[in-house]
Structure 1
């Protein structure tokens, strides 16, 4: 997975952290969790707030 794989990342986060409400996850934690996902292979430095926000919003949608 790469940073551009927003939906795949959101699904993986929902599977791994199903008991976490994504609305309250800090971006620092979100970044770390994404980098630690199995199958994630992008450069951690290529992330930014816009990318993390898009992933968080998609994760929220996946929880509904």
Structure 2
């Protein structure tokens, strides 16, 4: 599956499965951004990312693990 920045929920699921030991509330956005870009199947322009998207991914990840 190809992932884009707008696939917030799918990205959160992938991150929660790949990094179960990580507390997403403690992440820096620079780190989160890089992890998203490193996901298998991620294919989007890095310049299309902004703080609002990263916040949405972080919140979806938090919701996913609760």
Q: TM-score, normalised by structure 2?
A: 0.95
Return the alpha-carbon distance in structure 1 between the equivalents of residues 34 and 46 of structure 2. 9
Q: How many residues align?
A: 64
Unaligned runs of 5+ in 2: none
Return the alpha-carbon distance in structure 2 between the equivalents of residues 28 and 17 of structure 1. 16
Return the alpha-carbon distance in structure 1 between the equivalents of residues 28 and 18 of structure 2. 16
Dislocated runs of 4+, deviation >2 Å: none
Return the alpha-carbon distance in structure 2 between the equivalents of residues 12 and 44 of structure 1. 18
Q: What residue in structure 1 maps to residue 56 of structure 2? A: 54
Cα RMSD for the two superposed structures: 0.4
Displacement after TM superposition at 1:37 (Å): 0.2
Unaligned runs of 5+ in 1: none
